[in-house]
Amino acid sequence: MTEKSVSHGRKSISVSAKPRELMTKNPRLTDIWTADVITLFPESFPGLLGESLIGSALAKKLWTLQTVNLRDYGIGPHKKVDDTPAGGGSGLVIRADVLEPALEKSISNYPNGRPLIYMSPRGKPFEQRHAKKWAAGPGVIILCGRFEGIDERILESYDIEEISLGDFVMTGGEIAAQAIIDTTVRLLPGVLGNPESIVDESHTSGLLEYPQYTKPSEWKNKKVPEILLSGHHENIAKWRLNQSIATTKKNRPDLWKAWNISKNKPNLKD
């Protein structure tokens, strides 16, 4: 397999050409769910999105992925994309006049009507409901930030939705973008081999998923719960619900409270 070296400052990254072949440079496909990613590191895609079920679905054209290299729209001979913050401060901010043509490039690509998303630690927490909503649409356009962020005027002008993976800060939005795309694409029809596998997943019903077991039935003196080997489907379903409730109450009391209210039930005992 032939590899090429892509230089970013003092660092050199070896990039495999094979995963990139899965990506569509200019799909112009109106009937396929499409993700555009605006990034300074287009060679980091598809990354893990090119593997396993998501990668197989990409190869089968169940969805498409393309990147827009923000550096292509940089200013001057050195393709500068950032500048110092207005009002002073540390770090650098990505310029609005660099972001605008990159965004317009993605918006002009088909399919139309895709939401604009900016990966930001100050954004709303990403939840399963977001993935479900986006999976029902034509796709997404994701802007990956770097440095201290991007010019606020871009967010205001394009009505971009800020989304965060959690209360922490990363060096850029690329990893977060891949996580969001993975979560969303797996909900598309035909991507998972067994569509029923998402029905009982954590966050689908509002509760966390129950514990899972498989063969062997006994491992290091630990046995699979007998109820799961009984073949009594109704009792198994009740056991799994109780386990989901217990796990949710222990690990995510906020989810438990919301689920309990939504079901209009009194608090259940442990």
Beta strands per DSSP E along 132-185: 139-144, 161-164
Instruction: Tell whether 129 and 205 lie within a shared domain.
Output: no
What pLDDT sits at residue 22? 75
The reported pLDDT for the residue numbered 13 is: 36
**192 in any annotated domain:** no
| Length of the chain in terms of residues written | 270
My answer on whether 43 and 103 are in the same domain is yes
When divided into structural domains, the chain yields a total of: 2
- Tell me if 270 is assigned to some domain: no
- Asked if residue 45 and residue 156 are part of one domain, the reply reads yes
pLDDT, tens digit only, all 270 positions of the chain: 444 433 333 333 334 445 567 776 544 556 899 999 999 999 999 999 999 999 999 999 999 999 999 999 999 999 999 999 999 999 999 999 999 999 999 999 989 999 999 999 999 999 999 999 999 999 999 999 998 899 999 999 999 999 999 999 999 999 999 999 999 999 999 999 766 555 555 556 788 889 999 999 999 999 999 999 999 999 999 999 999 899 989 998 988 898 888 886 555 544
> End-to-end CA distance of the chain, in Å?
56
Domain membership of residue 101 (yes or no) is: yes
Question: Residue 201: what pLDDT?
Answer: 54
Cis ω before 253 (30° cut-off from 0): no
CB 230 within 8 A of CB 217: no
Answer whether residue 268 is part of any domain.
Answer: no
What pTM did the predictor assign?
0.80
pLDDT confidence of residue 12: 35
Residues 168 and 50 in one domain: yes
Identity (one letter) of the amino acid at 173? G
Residues 175 and 204 placed together within one structural domain of the fold: no
For residues 151 and 229, state if they share a domain: no
Asked if residue 87 is part of any domain, the answer here is yes
Residue 215, domain extent? 199-262
- Whether the CB-CB separation of 130 and 115 falls below 8 Å is answered with no
Among residues 156, 185, 214, the one where a domain terminates is: 185
We report the CATH number of the domain holding residue 42 as 3.40.1280.10
In a domain, 193, yes or no: no
Domain termination site, one of 185, 213, 233: 185
Preceding omega of 111 cis (within 30 degrees of 0)? yes
Residues 135 and 240 in one domain: no
Tokens 């550096």 label which residue?
71
- Kindly state whether residue 116 falls inside one of the protein's structural domains: yes
Backbone angles phi, psi at 115, to 5 degrees: -70, 150
Cβ atoms 247, 208 nearer than 8 A: yes
Is the N-terminal amide bond of 27 cis, ω within 30° of 0? Answer: no
pLDDT at 92: 95
Whether residue 146 is found in the same domain as residue 204: no
Place of tokens 């993605």: 106
Same domain, 84 and 30: yes
Q: Assess whether 175 and 236 both reside in one domain.
A: no
Residues 234 and 150 in one domain: no
The domain boundary residue, chosen from 185, 209, 225: 185
Do 203 and 238 belong together in one domain?
Answer: yes
Residue 133, domain member (yes or no): yes
Q: What is residue 270's predicted lDDT score, i.e. its pLDDT?
A: 43
Give the pLDDT of residue 199.
55
CATH number at residue 258: 1.10.1270.20
